[in-house]
Every structure is written in structure tokens, then in C-alpha cells.
Structure 1
Amino acid sequence: MPSLPQTTWLAIAGGLLVLAAVLLVLWIAALRRLRAERRAAGERSQHAARLQVAVADQGGRLRIIRELHDVAVHRVSAMIAQADGARYAGATDPTAAVRAAQAIAETGRTTLADMRRVMTLVRETEAEAGPQPRLKTTRELFKTMRDAGLNVVVEEHGEPYDLDSSAELAIYRILQEALSNSLKYGGDGTEVRVGFTWTASGIAVKVDDDGFRNAVLQRGLSGDEAAAELAYGVEEDLRSLTQQLAGPGIQEMRARAELFGGTLTASETPGVGFSISATFPSIRFHNGVHGVDLSRR
């Protein structure tokens, strides 16, 4: 068997060296990528653990607040009973009234201490939660939803004015839930029309989407097939007018509206999509408890 020339051996050796160098570079790159992935996985695990601890901590605080609140309610009820007893006993036995007054004072001091603990926990929780969204931040909410795939169109009528921060938070959360539902059921490309109508003392917020229609069109059906699937009759019209939609999200929105003397309706528009309407007749002067007109204080 003839031997290869020296130049050929040199060429083969050079090629093997190049191949070894390439394999070494690839191995180092793979090793770095593996380390980066492990580091990222570790960071995600640590973040998840911190989040879990934070959620557990918040849940623990809420549980403590609820327990202290229940105890305070029980003690206030006892104070009322003691006061009623003192009122009746005082007519015949003044010393009984004195004893009852002492018991009421002691119960009141204990209850006040518990309520101060509740307020301390609430303030700490709020401070950690950071600033709550306001109506001015709805632009960021709309941008987020547009980036997610919704086509959001906003219309505003009337002269806006500042509301109590808790009232603005209620409206913001209603908008957030309504838009999330539009994205969930309608999908990418759903058109949503958001309307704000301001009056002298209230505001009406309306969210209409074409989620039904968009979801059908996204399936790539022909015009006739899409029209057939979106067709509706008198029965669907009557159901849309009388049916009250219910679900955890809608119930939460309705509860937020009722806190400020408002009403919320959720309905389906046959062949088109969903409609959410929240009306607050006197939210400008509503304190979120009894609807006291704050302008007259």
C-alpha cells in the first residue's frame, strides 16, 4: 500500500485540528448555554418561591384581619347589650349602671386596641402592594390590552372630574375584568368599544365587543358559513333582553358597582358579542358606605 505524501498528512492533521477546535468551541458554547439555562431556572424558582411566600403572607394577614374584625364585632355587640342593660337597671339600681359603665369602658378599650392592630396590618399590606391604579392609568390598561390583541376604541362624553381613589379603583377593576373577558372569549382581533359618559354627579361606563363574530371569523369560514353560524332569531333576541349573565367575574364587577351605589348589567348581543354596562348615578359624592353627599359636609 503506497504511503501518502507528507503534505497530505499535514493537510489531514490540520483538518483534524480545525475540527477539534470547532468541536471545542461548540462544547464551550453548549456548556455556557446549559449554565445560563440552569441559572435562569434557579432564578425563576427563587422568584416563584418569593411569590409563594408573599402570597402566603398576604393570605395570613387577611386571615388575621378577618379574625380581629369578627372579634371586634362580637365585642361591640356585647357593649350594646351592656348599655341596654345599664339603661334599664339604672332606673332602680344606680350601682348596677356604674358596674355596666365600667364593663363597657373596658370592652371599648380592648376593641379599640384590636381595631388599631387591624389598621396597622391594613396599612402595611397597602404599603407593600404599592399604589393602586386610578382612572388616569386606564391608558396603560388600554395599551396593554391592545398589545395583547384587542382593538380598543375609547369614547368619552361630558366633563371628567376627580373621584375618590377607592371609587376610581372600582371602575378600573370593572374595566380590567370586562376587557379580559373580551380577550378571553373573542380572541386576537376583537374590537372593543369603551364609553365614558360623565354627568354632574355620576358616570356611566360601557364596554361592547364583537367577540362572537370575531371568534367565528378567526376560524377561516367562508362568508356563507360564518353568516349561518352567526345567524339568530327572535328566541335569541328575547334571551339577550331577559337573561342575566352570571359568573365569578361578573359577580365581582357587580359587587364593586354596588359598593358605590351603582348597578351593573351584563348581556349578550346575538351574533356580535358581550356588553357590560356600569352606571353610578351619584359616585361623585359617594363615600362607598352610605352614599353620603360629601359636598355638604
Structure 2
Amino acid sequence: FSSAIVGATVITGYLFGSQLLSAASWSVLPLAAAVLIAAGFALLLAWTVGALVRTSLRARRTQRERERAERERIEEQERGRIARDMHDVVGHSLAVIIAQADGARYAADADPQAGKDALATISTTARSALADVRLLLAQLRHSEGMAPQPMLNDLESLYSQVRAAGLAVRVDVEPMPPANVPAAVQLAIYRVLQEALTNAIRHGNGDVEVTMRWLPDRLHLWASNPVAEPVDPPAADAAPLTDPAGVSHGIVGMRERARLVGGAVEAGMVGELWVVRATFPFAAEPQPHGSAAR
């Protein structure tokens, strides 16, 4: 379109320019000027419209790219969340099953009932893990699925599973948690504590101490247990909460879960104990206190 305007302008200029060479053509000078001005205006208008169209197309393309990048970011976050859930569910359940299977193997001859109880725990844990895995697979197919997630009220069941695996768990909660702790924070607390207890089953060498201190706007959580093979004899002036070399995927997952809700996790040796320390801030209005699993 702009090329046609340029051509028209050139032709008009040529025709009127040739007429201007004769004295008789001075009478058409105003008309020639008007035509040239109109042609110039048309040319400017065409260029402006073209620039606006190009700008609009670039803006639409940029918006599409931005939306695609946002979708990819959300999908990546969802895949990471599901991967962490899969690690937590499968890792914890398999740790309980292995501990129960080992105990049943040695207890079956001396105490048949203990062997039966261990097999019952294995069956229950395996069924629960299967249901959780099916839920995660369903979420992979339908990311918008809103299936229930474990909350603070489910902690007692978690403690029972660990105790059934042969590990004593002592829990100290003070005071009772607020009733309106956000669901995302409750899920993060559950998963972090689940991973800490799973690591205690795998690598621990004694009872687990779980301490929860609820403040109006945050939770301070500690989980500690002796380890089977201390890294080094503890020094009197050893710095607390020092991470050993090669932080495991589970610890990285705990930190990521806490970070997503504004919290933080530290894990490492304190003397002869492996300690997980976590902080979970939350926005809670003053309400009647609920109950916590102890």
C-alpha cells in the first residue's frame, strides 16, 4: 500500500513538474501543491497504519510467548510438587514396610502374634501407599484435581505408622495450634515431619523427639534422633546444625516445601544427634484453639 502511494506521488510530481516548465502552467500551481500535500499525507498515514499494525503484531506475539512461558513455569512447579509428594509417600511407606518386614522375620518364630501384627502393618501401609500413588497419578492426568491432602489432624496416624515400624516417637506440642492454620502450611508441616521421621527409620539408632512450639504467627518445629554411625566424634565447640557433605534429595525437598510457604529448614548434626529444625510462618487471626495430635 505504501509503495502505491509513493508511486502516485512520484507520478504526480513528474506530471505537474513538467507543466511547471511552461509559463502557462503557473495557474495550476495551487492544485499541484494540494495534490502533493494530499499524497504526502496519504503516505504518512499509510506508514503510521503500517507501524501500528506491526507494533500490534509484535505485542500479540510477545503476549503469547509470555503466556506460554507462564504455563511452562506453572507446569514445572506442578511436576516438582508431584515429584516431592511421590518421594515423600513412597519413601516413607517403603521405609515402614522394610522395617516391619525385618522385624517380622526375626519375631515370627519367637512370637507369632508379633509377626502377624507386622504383616498387618505392612498390608495397611502398602494399601495406603498405593492409594496415595494412584492419587498422584490422577493429579498428573488432571492437574486441576482437588483431592484432600494430609493435614495436622493426620499427624497421629503418621506417628502410629512410625511406632509400628519399631521406632519410639515422643511428641511435645505446646500450646495447641491455632484452628485456622492455612492448608498449605499444614501440608508443608506434615511432609517435612514425614521426611524427618522416614530418615530416622532409615538411618537412626534410637528414639525420635518431636517438639512443636506454636506462636500466634509461626511454628517452630524440631525433630531429633541418634544416628547409627556418627560422622565424627562431636567436638565441644562444634557448630550446631552443620550439613554433612552430600545433602540428600529428601533434605532438599524439605527445604523446598518450607520455602514455598515462607518457612525454612535446617538439618545436620548437633553432638551425637541428627536434628531437623524448621520454622513455618503463617497469617492467623485470633480464634479459638483447635487440637493437635500428640
Q: TM-score, normalised by structure 2?
A: 0.48
Greater length-normalized contact order (CA 8 Å, ≥ 6 residues apart): 2
Q: TM-score, normalised by structure 1?
A: 0.48
Greater C-alpha Rg: 2
